[in-house]
Amino acid sequence: MAYKTGIDRSQVNFFPGSLEEEISSDNVVRVIDAFVDWLDLAELGFLSMLQIMFVVLLYIRHRCY
């Protein structure tokens, strides 16, 4: 079995390098991920992070003045 060179093999890692490496290509979670990517979240009423930050800033400004 091949292993990565240059890394101490006895080192304990708590988390994988990435989830992409740990999830097999035929895992059902990949179907769920593709489905969520396909959805138009804005049309369903979800806000983007920029919109959320704007709303929070407006709320803070309103509360401070």
User: Would the pLDDT of 5 be above 60?
Assistant: no
Cβ-based neighbours of 47, under 8 Å, separated by 6 or more: 55
User: Would the pLDDT of 9 be above 60?
Assistant: no
Between the alpha carbon of residue 28 and those of residues 13, 19, 36, 58, the distances in Å are 25, 14, 13, 41
pLDDT tens, residue by residue, 37-52: 898 877 888 778 788 8
* Mean pLDDT of the residues in the chain: 75
d(CA 1, CA 31): 30
d(CA 30, CA 37): 10
Q: Which pTM value belongs to this model?
A: 0.46
Domain ranges of the chain: 19-64
Cβ-based neighbours of 29, under 8 Å, separated by 6 or more: 23
